Amino acid sequence: MPTQIELARDGNISDEMERVAVDENLPVEEIRENIAQGRLIIPNNLNRKSKVVGIGRGLRTKVNASIGTSTDIVDPDMEAAKARTAEENGADTLMELSTGGDLDRIRQTILAGVNLPVGSVPLYQAFLYAIKQKGSALKMDPEYLFEVIEKQCEDGISFMAIHCGINRITLERLKRQGYRHGGLVSRGGAYMSAWMIENNRENPLYEHFDRVVEILRKHDVVLSLGNGLRAGAVEDSSDRAQIQELIINCELAQIGQDMGCQMMVEGPGHIPIDEIEANVILQKRMSRGAPFYMLGPLPTDIAAGYDHISAAVGASLSSAFGADFICYVTPPEHLALPAPEDVKVGLAAAKIAAHIGDMIKRKDRDRDRRMSHARRKLDWEEQFRVCLFPQQAASIRDSRSPSNTKTCTMCGDSCALNIVDHYFSPYLSEDKKG
C-alpha cells in the first residue's frame, strides 16, 4: 500500500487528505502538495484506523499529550484513564511512553481505548528488554531495536520518535564542548549515547537508517526524528551538540521523504525565548520545511511545580514562529509521574499556547473578536460558546453567582461595561457590532 506521501507525489488525493482539508478549511490540492513536498504529515497506520489529524504547513498547531508508566509507578488503569482524559480534553495526539510493567499489553490497551493517533519511543522497550534479559541496557542487541519498531508498527502506532540523529560526531561535539550544565535529559538519547560509548559502536539507527525508514514506510507510520541531545537547561540551549543533531536529523528527514516515508523533526527542550525563532528557522531551512515538533519548550528552568505555564510561554512563541506541533508539559514535570488531573491542566495550558501561536501564524482571530463583542454585550451564552474551555468558564461563573445576573461578581454594581456601554453603543461602527 502506498503511503500518504507516495500518494500525494503521484497526484492522488486520499480520504485522509480530504478530511484534513475540511477540518482546516483549506483547498485539498494545497494539502496534497504540502504532503508531496514533505511539509505536512498525517500520522497514520495502515493497521489501525484513528482520528485523522494533519500536522504541518498552513495548519492549526497541534497538541500532543504524553502518558505512560514509569519503573516506579506501574498502574495501567491510571494510564488508560489519562489517555481518556487527554482525548476528552482535546489532545490532537497521544504519546504512550511507558517504561514499567508489561509494555506490549499497556500499549495495546491504550491503542484500543482511544481514537487518537498514538505515538511511541521504541528505544525505551528495546533498552528495557536488554535490562530484563541481560541485566544491562548496555548489552542491548541492536537487532532488538528493529524488532521492537516492527512490532509497534504492527500494533498500530502512528508516529515514532526515534533517535537516529545521535552519531559518533554528535557525541564528539558533546565532549569537545565540555559536556553540559544540565547533562543529557532525553531517556532515549541517554540510553543510546551510553550504549555507543560502552560498545564503541555507531548508533544502529543511524548506521542502518534505511532499514528504520523501510519498516515505518511499510506501515505508513510517521518517523519523528528524536531530539536526543536536546538541552535540558536553558544554559545549554542551541549548543553545538544540539545543532549538530539537528543538522543530521534534517538531512535524514530528506532521505526518509525521498524513500516514501512521512517525516517530522523534533526540537527542544529547554530554550530561552530569544533563541526559539532561530531554532525554528534553522529546522525549517535545513529540512525543506518538514513539520517541527517542539517538546514544551521550557524557557526557564526554575518553574518547577508550574512548568506547564513556563511551557505555554515557550509553546506560544514556537507556534507563532512556525512550529507545527507542541508537546504539552504537566505541573509535575521534573518532579513526579503525572496523574489524570495533571493531564487536563497540562492540556489546557498547551491548547491556550497553540491558539496564541495560531493567532500570529494563521491570523486566527475570529473567535477572539467574537469574544470581545460578547463581553461588551455581557452576552454570557455567547462567551461560553466562543471560549476554549466552556465548561470550566460556566462552572466558575455559576459557583459565584452575581446579584445582578447581567454582570459578574468581579465588579458587581461597578461593572465598567454596564456603566458606560449605552453612552457609546449608538456610535458603534458596523465592524464592531458583532
Residue ranges that bind ligand SF4, judged by CB under 6 A: 407-408, 410-411, 415-417
Of the pair 387, 408, the CB lying nearest ligand SF4 is at: 408
Nearest C-alpha neighbor of 126 from the set 201, 203, 64, 67: 203
CB-based contact 314:53 (threshold 8 Å): no
Q: How far is the CB of 423 from ligand SF4 (least distance, A)?
A: 15
Q: How many CB atoms lie within 10 A of CB 295?
A: 28
Of the pair 281, 411, the CB lying nearest ligand SF4 is at: 411
Q: How far is the CB of 140 from ligand SF4 (least distance, A)?
A: 58
In the 8-state DSSP scheme, what is residue 40?
Answer: E
Q: How far is the CB of 397 from ligand SF4 (least distance, A)?
A: 9
Of the pair 55, 415, the CB lying nearest ligand SF4 is at: 415
Of the pair 133, 392, the CB lying nearest ligand SF4 is at: 392
Q: How far is the CB of 414 from ligand SF4 (least distance, A)?
A: 7
Cα distance between residue 88 and residue 342, in whole Å = 14
Of the pair 225, 415, the CB lying nearest ligand SF4 is at: 415
Cα distance between residue 101 and residue 77, in whole Å = 12
Measured between alpha carbons, how far is residue 221 from residues 5, 56, 153, 214 in Å?
Answer: 11, 16, 7, 10
CB-based contact 236:180 (threshold 8 Å): yes
Nearest C-alpha neighbor of 199 from the set 142, 128, 145, 144: 142
CB-based contact 340:377 (threshold 8 Å): no
Q: Which residue has the cell 524557557?
A: 299
Phi, psi at 332, each rounded to 5°: -80, 10
Cα distance between residue 315 and residue 328, in whole Å = 9
Bridge-based pairing of strands 292-295 and 325-327 is parallel
Q: How far is the CB of 421 from ligand SF4 (least distance, A)?
A: 10
Q: How far is the CB of 388 from ligand SF4 (least distance, A)?
A: 18
Of the pair 73, 419, the CB lying nearest ligand SF4 is at: 419
- Amino acid 273 reads I
Q: What count of Cα atoms within 13 Å lies in the side-chain half-sphere of residue 348?
A: 15
Q: How far apart are the first and last CA of the chain?
A: 49
Q: How far is the CB of 386 from ligand SF4 (least distance, A)?
A: 15
Of the pair 45, 383, the CB lying nearest ligand SF4 is at: 383
Of the pair 207, 379, the CB lying nearest ligand SF4 is at: 379
- Amino acid 50 reads S
Q: How far is the CB of 417 from ligand SF4 (least distance, A)?
A: 5
Bridge-based pairing of strands 263-267 and 222-225 is parallel
Of the pair 34, 407, the CB lying nearest ligand SF4 is at: 407
Q: How far is the CB of 378 from ligand SF4 (least distance, A)?
A: 6
